[in-house]
Structure 1
Amino acid sequence: MSSASPTRTRSQRVASVELPRGRFSLLLAELRRGTVLLRLGLAALAVAGIVAMTRGWDPPRDFALRQIPSRDLVATVEFQQLDERATAEARDRARRFAEAVFDNDPMSLRQLKAALMSEVTQLISAESFDTVDQDLWQRYQPPRAEGTPEPTEEQRSQRFARFREALRNEKAQSDFNAAIEAVFAPLEQRGLLESQPIDANSEEILIRPAGTEGFEQVATVRSVLIDNVRSDLGLTLNQRLPELDLSQHIAARLRPDLMPTLKRNSIATRAQQDAREEQVKPVYRTFQAGETLAPAGKPIGEAELALLELGYQQRMVERSWTDRILRALGAAWIHAALTAIGAVGLYRADRETLIQLSRYGLLWGCVLLTLAGVALGYGQAWSVELAPILMFAMTMAIAYRHQSAMLLTAAVVASAAIGVGMSLSEALLMLAPAACGIVLLDAVRHRSTLLIVGFAAGLVAIATKLALGILEGLPLWPTVQMSLIVGLWCLVAGSLMTCVLPVIEKAFRVQTDLSLLELGDPTHPLLQELIRRAPGTYNHSITVASLAEAAAEAIGARGLLVRVGAYFHDIGKMLKPGYFIENQGQSVNQHDSLVPAMSTLVIIAHVKDGADLARQNKLPECIIDFILQHHGTTLVEFFYRQAKQRSDEAGSDSAVDERSFRYPGPKPQTKEAGVLMLTDAVESASRTLVEPTPSRIENLVEQLTRKRLDDGQFDECGLTLEELRLIGASLIKSLTAVYHGRVKYPGQETA
């Protein structure tokens, strides 16, 4: 049977050709990955949080306390403002015109009525005028008008006779008693008031029986005022009694003895005043749409701010749910677009932030915390929102590259401006000092660095505020005041950063120059132990540190980071110091008793041992990376050649596996790690030079650089050929200075 493949048709051959997938297909493939979906979900939650935090469904306020508007701020809808002064006046008027409450005790009137009945009975029982009690009868005499002569005895007798005649029988007496009861009944019910109340309603009062808290009746002040009752008493008696003389005598008797029965109840009166005050409805002032609420060119004060806030709240009440939903979706889209811009920038410059979920979440936490600070501070009197923006910018400058920090800060400022309604000038005022802080925050070598950066950012903020105020035509002196305030907040932000710097370093796992200087202290326990156990390795590390720092600075890398990394890069050798040539001295080489493969394992082990020691002593990850990467995946060439030679001499058919003689890696991942690798190799090899002349040093450096380059050790660290040339030149210069020529004295021989 033939094993040849069947012949395919033309269409089958065409269909078998697969072209590379396009960008859209690649994007869909990436979106299907769980890790990508998780990060997109976190970003969506963060965007939703930003919308909720800034109330993205409502338009932001375009006013703030002490803000100087460049145009008149007018009402967009009709609204009302509580007129506190008019309301207070109305309530005060209601209290003043509330009815006073009086307690009525009619006992004195009842006693007076009983005394009147008894006295009248006594008078009419007298047989004649001569036998009547003259003092008693005198109390019933009407007062004499001025200029009227004193009545004679006969006239007095006749008056008494008419008085007795009016009450001569039982029926007349019964009618008299009924009339007196009728006269006293309203007086007992309403009571008598001595004087008109001056701090309450002057027309009506409330009366209730003394000792009770229930029934109250309304009475006019005139009807209970005792002077009015005395004046009206004669007319009342005339209407009730049949004889005019009789009513005059009774009135003359009663008028002097009528006493007030009403006593003011202060507690009940106050309660009545409170009730009348509560009944007063608030007085509102109506503002029409288009009416000016805050004039241009003047700082917004408390009164203007209250009006603007009322107009804003009324406008929010009149908005429909459709408007709210649409605006929330629009705000979410803008925040998502800004998020995408920041993500693209990080992907190109600081990809590790997107790869490591912890750093990704931490970044979002900083963004949300900053926007929360802006949302809380914006609209206050002292421009507090500048401080969180500047602190965010400085944090990003410490944690990431400057281009990433600048992009993230710009995105956060834009998001904050959209969320809280900043104007273009306010957004520029936020961005200018933040950009200054990022540019100046290159290295934090001293604790005062952050204060200096805050001071410089404050100067930029002051200049920016003044320039924007001049461009908008705002009054000079208020603008100067606000400029000084924003400058002060920048200084405050720098001061706060000095306090939170250790937290930032630990959270973002970064090392500033300040922490590196503390870490590189020779008194560090690991370095002290290295001196004690492996002094040759320590001297080698110190020399490598000096050479590598200069080489790193030659290409613009972090020289201090390389120097500190070089201090610790060989700490693993302290566990077996005798197996490394720099610690052997004149003693026997311990590798003579080992096969090359075993010697290689011992040599390679110092990398893993060093990393374990570093983690045990809680060294930063960036220093551990130097320990793991300073040899990359290079070949332990001496023992490899030795093994190969022994294999050839033994006539073995199996080739020596080169992979068994290579370091486990990884290869250098940063430029700083690449610098340390090359410096470590050059410094070790330079010790073997018998006559380390400049030309020999140069040849050595070029040879080792070429070997590492051809071996692919610099493929993952981003070093360019030009940077490798600069590193080599720096190493040549430094080694030449170390091995400089000396004057040869007579009799001196070359070692």
Structure 2
Amino acid sequence: MGSELRRGSVVVRLSLVVLTLLGLAAITRAWRPPAEFHAGQTPLRNLTARVEFKQPDDKATDEARDLARRLATAVYEHDPARVTQLKARVVNELSELASAESLDTVDPEIWASYALPPPAEGTPAPTPEQEQEQFAKLRTVLSEAGQLDAAQATLGEAFAPLERHGLMVRLPPEHEANQKQIQVRRVDSPGFDATVEISETLVENATRQLQRTFEQKLPSLDLAARVFNRIRTALPETLKLDPIATRAEQDRAEAEVVTQYKVFPVGSVLATGSKMLDEASLKLLDAERSAWLHARSSWESVLRFVAATALYGALFVVVAFVLRRHDRGVLSRLPRLVTLLATVLLTVAAMTLANSREWRAEAIPLLLLAMTAAVAYGRINALVMSAATTLIASVGLGLGTYDAVLLLGPASAAAIALDSVRTRSKLLIVGFVAAGVAAALALCVGQLAGLSLLDATQTAVRLALWSVIAASLMTCLLPLVERVFDVQTDLSLLELGDPAHPLLQELVRRAPGTYNHSITVASLAEAATESIGGRALLTRVGAYFHDIGKMLKPQYFVENQSRGDNRHQSLAPAMSTLVIIAHVKDGVDLARQHHLPERIIDFIQQHHGTTLVEYFYRQASSRKEADENAAAVDESAFRYPGPRPQTKEAAVLMIADAVESASRVLVEPTPARIESLVEELAHKRLVDGQFDECGLTLQEVSRVCDSLVKSLTAVYHGRVKYPEQEPSKGVSA
């Protein structure tokens, strides 16, 4: 890991990793344990309350609210004018009776209203003489000093409650509120409401009270009976139900009702073992979990946060070791590291948002991560990253073993199946492969988890559907993935390696010899890369562009020189070396101007590594030996600036490039000489340390050499020698 650390700041990389770990811990809410149970799950034992808690009792709350509406006081409008008018009429009538000289001068209707009820049924009506006597008796009572005023005062006292709270015959049918009290609002005095007993407002009760008052307060029982008989049938109904105000009063009473709770002590059975959890049981478990989380101390939350973050960090370490083994560029290049960390962070966040044990939609982000990682980092790295992300999501979301298997299975299948993308249908094929694995896993896991065949089948269909959808999304997102992760699929490499590419066309025009050299090297390197299981197509396309820098000064390179035209003869060895070495930097500049991918630019930078330009170095050394006064020869000035090959593909291109150039000067390119040349050049670069940073093993170097020998032998295979033809007469040979 030393080279990675030397290339960038350790502090920056560690800070980014720590920030990502903290982000993952925040997304998964690592300080609090996730929910353990979900709908459709069947616990193996009874689930009991760990702490005392209470849960809203909807039924009791509804009953309390209904009771509050029924106990709310209804609002009635009261018009006391009718009672006041009746009182005034009775007072006037009594005054008229007291001032009348005889019965003949009294209005018959008034006298009839004050008539006594017959004592028994069938009793004959009084005679005129009897009526005269009754009238005289009544007039005498009323005519006595102060008696009329006393009667008027008694009437005022008796009618005062009626004027205050009103009268009604009975409760109306629409009265669905308090049956004992009502709220009375007088129309003549807005804002002055009174709560009264319903019994006081009923005409029947008010009539009896009037009778008792008259009998107690009026001067004679005869007068009391006659006044009561006059009023009994004339009492008006002054109360009218106000439905809008009553409904508002009921709504207010209902709103004041607090939520009713049911208390569950510690040890209460919340769900029965061996019975599938239903919605009611889940509500109880959620309420108990909330109370339990609230009862936990801050120290417990901190410990869990630290433990979860440490676990995430351990998984990151595992992924880092695998990446270091298979793709060092991810760790050595800060932008690629940032992209990787952001991808994991976004994937876990998406899985958290899509988390649903019923729909299993969290499989989509995980599948996208697996396919993206397979494209960007290779299948092995994709498998490890998918497994690590699944474990992180399992800890954060509280997924069980079966859930993790259901998620990781399709993701692993997608990563394994996605070896290369040479056709547009490849990703869809991968999606269908993942769908088949997902369906089979869901059915098997369903049996192990004790699910019904219907539930297991539904899960299988959903996971298969998500797999196909994820593959379809990946097909659309592939260009974006290539740009963001700076990778090239075989599909894009085939497009990039088109001979019609502007840079290749310019190379053909300016440096045809270099172009032919690049084509030959591409063929050699592709076969050699394939022999060690590398990306042969990537090596081939990289070889096409590895020497594009030579087009700026093509005549300084032997493959573009005519016989006898060697421009280095007039240059000092050091200057010639600078010209030769400059083609690497020129090639990088041209590649960036034409927006070539970084992977291709790496081939341009690394195909010579830090090798020595031997021809001119020996020339300089020879001149130094011949002239002792000449300046000392610094070997580092005759080496390419590098870097050394960072990938196996770049190392293969380095060997193929050197072998192809050297084989051109073989006088007799027999298989033995070709083999000796290849082994010599490969061994020289191996000893020079050019393969130290690319992970190329000795066994792989041997395979590369064997492949190059076979390819060059085929190029320089022997031909049958035909006898020279005699020239025709008159034509020179």
Could you say whether these structures have the same fold, taking a TM-score greater than 0.5 normalized by the shorter chain as the test? yes
Q: Are 1:487 and 2:461 matched, yes or no?
A: no
Q: Which moved more, 1:575-584 or 1:67-76?
A: 67-76
Q: Which amino acid aligns with 2:656?
A: T
SS at match of 2:143: coil
C-alpha distance in 2, partners of 1:668/1:326? 45
C-alpha distance in 2, partners of 1:319/1:656? 75
Change in CA separation of 1:627 and 1:279 when aligned onto 2, cut-off 3 Å: closer
CA contact (8 A) 1:70 1:474 kept: no
CA contact (8 A) 1:572 1:610 kept: yes
SS at match of 2:105: coil
Query: 1:308 aligns to what?
Result: 285
Change in CA separation of 1:690 and 1:325 when aligned onto 2, cut-off 3 Å: closer
Query: 1:80 aligns to what?
Result: 54
SS at match of 1:170: coil
C-alpha distance in 2, partners of 1:37/1:641? 44
Change in CA separation of 1:523 and 1:299 when aligned onto 2, cut-off 3 Å: farther
CA contact (8 A) 1:194 1:225 kept: yes
C-alpha distance in 2, partners of 1:616/1:552? 28
TM-score (norm 1): 0.87
C-alpha distance in 2, partners of 1:747/1:479? 82
Change in CA separation of 1:733 and 1:341 when aligned onto 2, cut-off 3 Å: closer
Query: 2:242 aligns to what?
Result: 265
What displacement does 1:167 show?
Answer: 0.8
What displacement does 1:696 show?
Answer: 5.0
Query: 1:153 aligns to what?
Result: 128
What displacement does 1:289 show?
Answer: 4.1
CA contact (8 A) 2:8 2:334 kept: no
1:620-677 deviation per Cα after TM superposition (whole angstroms, max 9, x unaligned): 2221221122223444445555666677788988786655544333333322112112
Counterpart among 589, 595, 607 of residue 630 in structure 1: 607
What displacement does 1:680 show?
Answer: 1.9
Q: Are 1:464 and 2:441 matched, yes or no?
A: yes
Counterpart among 511, 514, 528 of residue 551 in structure 1: 528
SS at match of 1:208: strand
CA contact (8 A) 2:5 2:332 kept: no
Query: 1:12 aligns to what?
Result: none
Q: Are 1:616 and 2:616 matched, yes or no?
A: no
C-alpha distance in 2, partners of 1:162/1:282? 69
Q: Which amino acid aligns with 2:77?
A: D
Counterpart among 27, 30, 34 of residue 56 in structure 1: 30
1:145-177 deviation per Cα after TM superposition (whole angstroms, max 9, x unaligned): 642323222222222122212212231111111
C-alpha distance in 1, partners of 2:19/2:631? 60
C-alpha distance in 1, partners of 2:481/2:541? 20
What displacement does 1:709 show?
Answer: 4.2
What displacement does 1:296 show?
Answer: 5.4
SS at match of 1:81: strand
Q: Which moved more, 1:253-262 or 1:399-408?
A: 399-408
CA contact (8 A) 1:67 1:300 kept: yes
Counterpart among 94, 98, 104 of residue 130 in structure 1: 104
Q: Which moved more, 1:72-81 or 1:673-682?
A: 72-81
Equivalent residue pairs, number: 723
Give the gaps of 5 or more residues in structure 2: 727-732
What displacement does 1:140 show?
Answer: 1.8
Q: Which amino acid aligns with 1:182?
A: E
Give the gaps of 5 or more residues in structure 1: 1-25
Change in CA separation of 1:43 and 1:212 when aligned onto 2, cut-off 3 Å: farther
Q: Are 1:606 and 2:580 matched, yes or no?
A: no
CA contact (8 A) 1:238 1:244 kept: yes
Q: Which moved more, 1:708-717 or 1:456-465?
A: 708-717
C-alpha distance in 1, partners of 2:461/2:275? 18
Q: Which amino acid aligns with 1:125?
A: S
C-alpha distance in 1, partners of 2:619/2:151? 153
SS at match of 1:446: coil
CA contact (8 A) 1:445 1:513 kept: yes
Counterpart among 164, 177, 186 of residue 161 in structure 2: 186
Change in CA separation of 1:747 and 1:504 when aligned onto 2, cut-off 3 Å: same
What displacement does 1:551 show?
Answer: 1.2
Q: Which amino acid aligns with 2:64?
A: A
Counterpart among 137, 144, 155 of residue 169 in structure 1: 144
Q: Which amino acid aligns with 1:537?
A: T
TM-score (norm 2): 0.89
CA contact (8 A) 2:573 2:620 kept: yes
Q: Are 1:525 and 2:507 matched, yes or no?
A: no
Query: 1:219 aligns to what?
Result: 196
CA contact (8 A) 1:64 1:379 kept: no
Counterpart among 194, 208, 215 of residue 238 in structure 1: 215
What displacement does 1:562 show?
Answer: 0.5
What displacement does 1:138 show?
Answer: 1.5
Change in CA separation of 1:33 and 1:600 when aligned onto 2, cut-off 3 Å: closer
What displacement does 1:263 show?
Answer: 2.5
Change in CA separation of 1:582 and 1:31 when aligned onto 2, cut-off 3 Å: closer
Q: Which moved more, 1:697-706 or 1:246-255?
A: 697-706
SS at match of 2:263: strand
SS at match of 2:423: coil
Q: Are 1:368 and 2:345 matched, yes or no?
A: yes
SS at match of 1:52: helix
SS at match of 2:55: strand
C-alpha distance in 2, partners of 1:584/1:333? 63
C-alpha distance in 2, partners of 1:400/1:116? 108
Identity percentage over the alignment? 54
Q: Are 1:107 and 2:74 matched, yes or no?
A: no
C-alpha distance in 2, partners of 1:221/1:200? 12
Which aligned pairs between 1:256-655 and structure 2 lie closer than 5 A?
256-295=233-272, 300-379=277-356, 381-585=358-562, 588-640=565-617
Query: 1:17 aligns to what?
Result: none
1:696-733 deviation per Cα after TM superposition (whole angstroms, max 9, x unaligned): 54454344444444555444433333323322332233
Change in CA separation of 1:67 and 1:502 when aligned onto 2, cut-off 3 Å: farther
C-alpha distance in 2, partners of 1:654/1:325? 68
